[in-house]
Structure 1
């Protein structure tokens, strides 16, 4: 073990042990980065490798930001530690270069998967199936948003689905059904073209969001408060829109954009909505899901650990051609596959973990009980017929 200076919340310098790189041989942390281990299986880990400069640009409390990422992705509450089964560390300090941090769930993860990803992926819908409803969806968004939420433009705006339609209605339904514990009422959120699954945004924002370069952070949430992220910039706000009074919908760049883009779309810019509208805002649940997915796409490594746990072995299957690059390309350097198996993308990883939330397991148990009941009824009927 190596020792490094560690900053505590009261700004006193204390010495704590940082895990040696040799303790986690599959976790590579280059200079200027930290690692957040989300699942450790023996010497293998699924983890995020995140540039410190990005974390510090997105959150004023970087340790809380790591907890937020763990909560989004795993779908359960937990703490930040220096070992996978270690004690909680203070959340008010900073992060140390090249250190490995662990998200430790409050309850042990029992990854007996309640969702068969390969079956669901085989039922994906083609994007063209939704063409008839896209114009109606845009109209509904404009009635609530009036203009791009973050730039105020109208002419170069476009509808943006938070969960892409090509994922299909069953995938969308599973995200909602398998949701982590949250206070949002989503009992009626069952349509992928629901206004809560979209925003009206400048075309550049939509393109960056589709690529997972950009994410929307909704605060307050289970982990972060509005004060935990940088204050919004002082931009011109049109008279027909205003900022929400008790929440923030903040655009955050998870990768450094091309020069000049931040002039139009700055980091940490907040959304405005139509004044006095009673139409529902974008769903917290869906925004947290896509934030976690974007983090996996940009920083995720080691998905082979998850694939080994997800489903029974299957014959190799051809990888489907991508429908659009936003939700089908490889998620980070550690997520590509070289063994002929179908590639997992960021949405597969998210549903793998969310498929083990309490809601998912309760739903799965209920389905199993219903199957058993139908089988018993069938057997009873066969027995009566044979008498």
Structure 2
């Protein structure tokens, strides 16, 4: 079995690789700068363990130096080797076959049709809900803020249900099943515009500690700042903003490892653990993931649920100014009076074309569109690697099989009751 494993990936200097699974002749792995790990976590080995546990949803695994068939736990103490290749071993024999078979039991999540509402209206309503808990931007205290959905509102309640339905229970808080939908306050925070766009663009994410792997002390000391009157840090947990892209041009003055502060008198639920772990791992994969395409080509790949219909007005397409100019010129040429060439708009230059397309191209390069939906060319949503693992987690399958049995038993009892009632009439 292990003789067929492909060679370890070649890792550039200043980086390490964490293999998450091997499919065919390729590894799906993270290639992470050592400088980034050191900036985010005091125990580099535990950081790799956190990513392995929460991406795969298997809490019983360990991190080992890549040596097929001879893996041994490297533990949580010590540094990582420059250009080192590690693997998250989910099971003792790391049998990858469970990742290759389709889920034997799957409860279909049906995308609900939602009430037609503009994104602006929904954002204002969500922001108002968050103000009762967050006061201002939770990371800066700034007066200019907006409510951010960790799971974007454009993805709809179906996407939220998908995450909750397939969460690894052993890694989650017990209250996630009570999340009411995409606009539940546990799915968001108040942030300034730069942080909002960074989280949407997966250049930053919020790490919740303590969790199964990391304590609050395993995160680098919080960036010190003045707190607004009436706000405070949580006493037993940290909600830490971490920049996966730490360049000053990206952060624009926002600190690294800034902890969220909330209203001291607000008795409202904080962001949900399962949502934060899910979105953190998604950001890490988008930032540092390699060979994600092997998951896309797998016949049993799990794609995110399609977003519900949205009423956002007329669609905006790249280069629509140029299209309008062409139509105007064509109409003038077809007019009986003709047109004065001097009155016609000038032909668009290549520079104008590129400028028209620049914002859209940049957004797609970052893997998101203006609504925060992961996207690729053609408008298709990308497969969701975290959900790919979670849906194949044996613990999740066992739980779902139990739910199906419970549902079937209930249906049988209902049918028997109907039959008895009918026969007695």
Q: TM class, shorter-chain normalised? A: 0.7 to 0.9
Could you tell me which of 38, 45, 48 is aligned with 2:27?
Answer: 45
Gaps of 5+ in 2: 303-316, 318-367, 420-425
Q: 1:145 Cα shift? A: 0.4
Q: In 2 relative to 1, CA 135–50 (structure 1 residues): closer, same or farther, beyond 3 Å?
A: same
Partner of residue 138, structure 1: 127
Partner of residue 40, structure 2: 58
Asked if residue 356 in structure 1 is aligned to residue 344 in structure 2, the reply is no
Could you tell me which of 10, 29, 35 is aligned with 2:17?
Answer: 35
Larger-gyration structure (1/2): 2
1-structure distance, mates of 2:104, 2:268: 33
2-structure distance, mates of 1:341, 1:249: 33
8 Å CA contact 1:60–1:229 kept in 2: the answer is yes
Q: 1:44 Cα shift? A: 1.3
Q: 1:227 Cα shift? A: 0.8
Q: 1:165 Cα shift? A: 1.3
Could you tell me which of 138, 152, 156 is aligned with 1:168?
Answer: 156
8 Å CA contact 1:212–1:297 kept in 2: the answer is yes
1-structure distance, mates of 2:261, 2:83: 38
2-structure distance, mates of 1:129, 1:368: 40
Matched residue count: 343
2-structure distance, mates of 1:309, 1:341: 21
Partner of residue 294, structure 1: 283
SS in 2 for 1:264: coil
Asked if residue 67 in structure 1 is aligned to residue 49 in structure 2, the reply is yes
SS in 2 for 1:298: helix
Q: In 2 relative to 1, CA 193–177 (structure 1 residues): closer, same or farther, beyond 3 Å?
A: same
Q: In 2 relative to 1, CA 125–95 (structure 1 residues): closer, same or farther, beyond 3 Å?
A: farther
2-structure distance, mates of 1:266, 1:257: 11
Q: 1:188 Cα shift? A: 0.9
| RMSD value, Cα | 3.7
Q: Deviations over 1:165-189 (max 9, x none)?
A: 1222112101012111223321211
8 Å CA contact 2:224–2:258 kept in 1: the answer is no
1-structure distance, mates of 2:125, 2:58: 36
2-structure distance, mates of 1:211, 1:185: 28
Which one has the bigger strand percentage?
1
Partner of residue 324, structure 1: 370
* TM-score normalised to structure 1 length: 0.77
2-structure distance, mates of 1:126, 1:66: 42
1-structure distance, mates of 2:8, 2:372: 28
* TM-score normalised to structure 2 length: 0.71
2-structure distance, mates of 1:221, 1:240: 27
Partner of residue 6, structure 1: none
8 Å CA contact 2:133–2:266 kept in 1: the answer is yes
Partner of residue 239, structure 1: 229
Could you tell me which of 248, 251, 267 is aligned with 2:256?
Answer: 267
Q: Deviations over 1:80-109 (max 9, x none)?
A: 001355111122011111111000114756
Structure 1 segments (4+ residues) deviating >4 Å:
119-132, 340-343, 368-375
2-structure distance, mates of 1:38, 1:323: 27
Partner of residue 252, structure 1: 242
Could you tell me which of 79, 96, 106 is aligned with 2:62?
Answer: 79
Gaps of 5+ in 1: 1-21, 314-320, 331-335, 382-387
Instruction: Please give the residue correspondences for 1:1-387 in structure 2 after superposition, counting only pairs within 5 Å.
Output: 24-25=6-7, 27-77=9-59, 78-83=61-66, 85=69, 86-106=71-91, 110-111=98-99, 112-114=101-103, 131-154=120-143, 156-180=144-168, 181=170, 182-259=172-249, 262=251, 264-311=253-300, 323-324=369-370, 326-329=372-375, 344-345=382-383, 348-357=384-393, 358-363=395-400, 366-367=403-404
2-structure distance, mates of 1:169, 1:69: 26
